[in-house]
A and B are shown apart, each in its own frame.
Chain A
Amino acid sequence: MRETPEAEALPSSPIAKARLYLVFLLFAVGFGYVIVGLALRQLIQTGDLKAQYDTQSRRVVLRPPSRGLIYDRNGYVLVENRIRWSIKADLLALQPEIHRKYLALIKAERVRGAPVEFDKLQDKARLDVLQGWLDRVWYVIDEAQPNKRGGARPRPVRPGDEPERRVNPADLRKHLRERRALPFVLVTDLAFPGSGRALRPEEGQRTIARFIDQFPVNGPISLESDIVRSYPHGSLAAHVLGYIKDTDELPEKVNELADLPMDNLQKLQYTGKKGAAGIEQTFDAVLKGMSGWELWTKTSSGYNKELVASNPAQQGSAVNLSLDRDIQCAAERALAQIKDSKGELLPGAAVMLDVNTGEILALASQPTFDPNRLADRVTQVYFDEVDGKGGWMNRAIQGLYAPGSTFKVITAIAGMRHGIVDWDDILECGPSFRVGARDFPEHDPAGYGQVNLEKMLAVSCNVWNYMVGVRLGQPRLAAEARRFGLDTPLLTHVSDLVNGSPYELPYPAARTLVVPDAAYKQRIGAGPWTDGDTANSSIGQGYILTTPLHMACVAASLARGETRTTPSIIHDPGRDGRHVGAEPIGLTEAQLTALRSGLERCVTEGTARTVRIPELPYAAKTGTSEYFKNGEKAHLAWIIGYAPADNPAVAFCVLVEGQLDTSTWGGKTAGPVARDMLTTWARKAETPTGAQPASDCQRK
């Protein structure tokens, strides 16, 4: 039998065979190693490797939710969301064009013989391509009129153009560094494409329509919509509603948003919004909603490639405020009528409360601001403009003022409760009252003669209060003021709607309310307390400081015959009318009747007679206190009260800061604001529910 050539080729010596087997063995071990390794990865480590792959090749993009709406007590929208159309460029889709441009730029540099700086050329190529597309967008949305030779003429970009006509290199660099995966925003808001100029609504609509109707649908430029906050009534209740600001913070509990291994995945977030002031800030947790998410695969260069899964954002919950849109509007409009001798607005505040529930129907402060101008981007110019006028402060809850003669009701109550004076006692009130070595003057140089409680309240007699106050002494006067809550912060949160926020509105005057006494005067280093200080305090002057909201609460408490009113800015139809710390006022029926009668006489024949409303009898107390502005004396005009006089339903307080060259008086200056609020309230109260008259508070 003949052997095969293969058999002939096999080594015959044992050593050679051993070597051959060794080689076979080595191959077998090596091959086995590979097989076992592959099996290990395929069968045992699959889960870990898949998780690793997912982590490295996927990312989550978070889309901020739209915020909840804010309504007034009647269901009218005070804050809503407006659709914003923005134009974005898909950088991944533009890559080939950018690359072509890049190569062309390199070629041009080489032809010029200049040294090629590749990084710079890459940036320039990207910028040029994006600028080219932005030019096309502007070419379509600009209102250029067609010329007769065929075609609208595009306008070249000029250095002085509004910023949105040019791609900002710094913005692009930042985008590539931080959000390369997301589309680059070419135009932020199509309705307001040039941030430097204001468009009328119809112009904005035309711009949107031009882009949608004319720009090619397919391509790297996409139209995206998102939501921006809109305050349809402009500056109405701006201090209450507040405003929002941008935030790039990831939402709380971000890892629980989706059934994904979120803690290991890279997360990117579109810029969201959070409350920065007012209700927007205090109720941010309620209003903000829940972010949506998109799971994307990514390319090696970091762009988003394919959408794997997504879940839309969920809108935040609504908040129902106790404000009445129409009364708020009337208050702000009336405040806006008060001007100084140069025609400048006088700062002021107005508050109206529901007497029984304490719900705030109006809370106005002037000067004010337009939150729409803060909803997207705050310009330094606008910030300075509002700041220069003192418009950021909510004077109704943050402004601290001497209450002036409106405090006399508290002096009178304290006097009667402590038996210093009774409702029918008649005091002889001359042109001044001497305390120590100083004469404290009456505001009428002739004096008021014989004055009882009712007359004191009607004409706002100072001397009556000096006498009662000095006899009472400061400790008892201060105690009475504290009994009415003048040292207690208001608008503290009573329900559990917002966890962790003790206030319904941020920044209420909590720490600097002053009900002065000897210890206070010592503390501020002003020396020992004197009877002169007591006389001053008795007419609401001197060291005492309070807010318009506190004085509105005093008026509401008086109307109910109690000491405390718990105000609330949140509407709750089930509110039971109980007020924290309230107790009966502590006067006899006759005393209380006389007190109320005096307040009514103030309107019918006293200091508030110029703002009488014939068809609505109401009770009021005016006040004109002094304060120092730039080292000189100016006046604060006050009016507090309630209506209707016989069955109180609403209480109010108005304050106006006078200027040095402008005379301001409680009845004359602050009174018209109260009258307008009351007239609006009465008009609404008379109309059956469901047949409300057409509002003159229009959307802007």
Chain B
Amino acid sequence: MDKHRQGATASYVVLALCAVVWVVLPAAVHRFAQEAFAEFQAPALHLAGKARDLARFWELKSRDKEEILAASRDLARANAALELQLRRYEDIRKENVRLREMLRYNPPPEHLTVVARVAVRDSSTWWQRIVIRKGSDDGVRAGCPVIFSDRVIGKVAVAHHTTSEVDLITSPNFRCTGFLEGDEQNRIVLVTGAPGRGLASGRSRVTAIPQDYFYPVGNAPKVTTTGLGGVYPAGLILGHLEGGQRTTQDGNFRESSLTPTRDLFALQEVTVLVPKYPTPGEILLEDQAQKRLDELR
């Protein structure tokens, strides 16, 4: 019995000592340990993701032939329609290029696209993050926007070698500017993530809505990216304004919640838009930002 007690006490002491040692260790060691853990668990995340894909594959495989034939017929029709649309877009693109050349228009920063499967959806109400199966080895950098189709999903928070953590637009760490649908003056509003209350999931908030902004009753206006900040291309959908807009008590503006256009935790695949050249904001996210800034000077 005494031996048991002594053993328990000793383990508490060791635990406390470990905690103290961890606290006093330099920040670089902390960082290394976190990175090492992320890289260590990356194969497990990959494996889990692939297992889910396999399950989905077998689920699809089990469908009967009639169903598949009908689906492929529908797809063929959709394909034909899209082919036509593609040709029309090609004409528009050429016209666009011609006009840009005429106007000597300086195009916005180009983006490379990296398509990534979602490995883990962290449903924690605190973090509002997902992990994707592409990392710095694939060219993903911290600070890059993440989209699905024409909708903004979030922004890369950390890029590990083979995986990346993405702050969703409902994350408190997310912030970007937006334009409101129908606002002819194109005034900037601020879109931020807001932590959920209790067990509720996170949500986004739109602030600095001008008092004289009105929209037709019954329509939830879209909030789209401005394209002015050098990160998000213009016109991507951030979400829709919820009906209840509150006037701030100082009377200057209104604020509202934002409904994301997708269920963010049901996503299976996303696209990371990687700017061709790192933006200043990306460099500031680097560990040695000040050193890098000094080097660039």
Contacts and interface: CB of A to CB of B under 8 A. Distances in A.
A150 B284 contact: no
A83, A208, A213, A218: residue with the most chain B Cβ atoms closer than 10 Å: A213
B173 interface: yes
Contact of A212 (B177, B248, B278, B292): B177
A135 B297 CA distance: 11
Contact of B232 (A148, A205, A213): A213
Contacts of B186: 205
B293 A154 contact: yes
B250 A154 contact: no
B250 A216 contact: no
B18 to A, nearest CB: 24
A128 B176 CA distance: 29
A144 B252 contact: no
B277 A147 contact: yes
A65 interface: yes
Contacts of A83: 208, 252-253
Nearest to A219: B284
B114 to A, nearest CB: 17
A152 B250 CA distance: 39
Interface in B271-296: 275-285, 289-290, 292-293, 296
A139 B280 contact: yes
Contacts of B282: 214
B228 A209 contact: yes
Nearest to B212: A77
B249 interface: yes
B289 A136 contact: yes
B285 A314 contact: no
Contact of B251 (A156, A215, A314): A314
Using C-beta atoms within 8 Å of the partner chain, give the interface range for chain A. 35 or more
Given A136-B284, A136-B293, A213-B231, A148 B277 contact: yes
Nearest to A227: B252
Contact of B229 (A135, A210, A227): A210
Given A135-B293, A205-B188, A213 B281 contact: yes
B143 interface: yes
A208 B252 contact: no
Contact of B283 (A151, A209, A292): A151
A536 B275 CA distance: 80
B177 A208 contact: yes
B250 A66 contact: yes
B175 interface: yes
Given A208-B177, A225-B208, A314-B250, A154 B297 contact: yes
A313 interface: yes
A217 interface: yes
A649 B292 CA distance: 72
Interface string B149-192: 00000000000000000000000111111000000001010100
Interface string B201-233: 000000010000000000000000010111110
Contacts of A135: 293
Contacts, number: 120
A295 to B, nearest CB: 17
A418 interface: no
Contact of B277 (A81, A146, A156, A313): A146
A163 interface: no
Interface string A405-448: 00000000000000000000000000000000000000000000
B109 interface: yes
Nearest to A218: B173
A209 B188 CA distance: 8
Contacts of B253: 83
B228 A206 contact: yes
A530 interface: no
A315 interface: yes
A218 B174 CA distance: 10
B22 to A, nearest CB: 19
A334 interface: no
A215 B280 CA distance: 8
**A interface secondary structure, majority:** mixed
Contacts of A140: 280-281, 284
B281 A215 contact: yes
A289 to B, nearest CB: 8
A216 B285 contact: yes
B280 A214 contact: yes
Interface in A181-226: 205-206, 208-218, 225
A315 B229 contact: no
Interface string A121-152: 00000000000100110011000101110111
Contacts of A147: 277
A66 B208 CA distance: 14
A294 B285 CA distance: 32
A210 B143 CA distance: 13
Contacts of B175: 212-213, 217
A312 interface: yes
B176 A212 contact: yes
A151 B143 contact: no
B173, B251, B283: residue with the most chain A Cβ atoms closer than 10 Å: B251
Given A135-B293, A154-B297, A156-B297, A213 B230 contact: yes
A150 B250 contact: no
A629 interface: no
Interface string A151-193: 1111010000000000000000000000000000000000000
A6 to B, nearest CB: 31
Given A205-B228, A209-B188, A214-B231, A312 B279 contact: no
Nearest to B109: A146
B250 A65 contact: yes
Given A136-B293, A210-B230, A151 B277 contact: yes
B250 A292 contact: yes
B174 A151 contact: no
A65, A81, A135, A212: residue with the most chain B Cβ atoms closer than 10 Å: A212
Contacts of A209: 177, 188, 226, 228-230
A131 to B, nearest CB: 11
Contacts of B177: 208-209, 212-213
A151 B281 contact: no
A153 to B, nearest CB: 5
A313 B249 contact: yes
Contacts of A144: 280
B207 to A, nearest CB: 8
B174 A153 contact: no
Contact of A216 (B249, B278, B284, B297): B284
Interface in B96-127: 109
A214 B293 contact: no
A315 B251 contact: yes
A152 B230 CA distance: 12
Interface in B25-79: none
A631 to B, nearest CB: 52
Nearest to B279: A214
A19 to B, nearest CB: 45
Given A136-B293, A213-B177, A213-B230, 7 more contacts: A140-B280, A205-B228, A214-B230, A215-B281, A216-B284, A217-B172, A292-B249
Interface of B: 109, 143, 172-177, 186, 188, 190, 208, 226, 228-232, 248-253, 275-285, 289-290, 292-293, 296-297
20 contacts: A136-B293, A140-B281, A140-B284, A146-B277, A147-B277, A151-B277, A153-B296, A154-B293, A154-B296, A210-B229, A213-B176, A213-B177, A213-B229, A215-B281, A215-B284, A217-B173, A218-B173, A312-B249, A313-B250, A314-B249
The 3 closest A-B pairs by CB, nearest first: A213-B229, A214-B281, A315-B251
Interface of A: 65-66, 81, 83, 132, 135-136, 139-140, 144, 146-148, 150-154, 156, 205-206, 208-218, 225, 227, 289, 292, 312-315
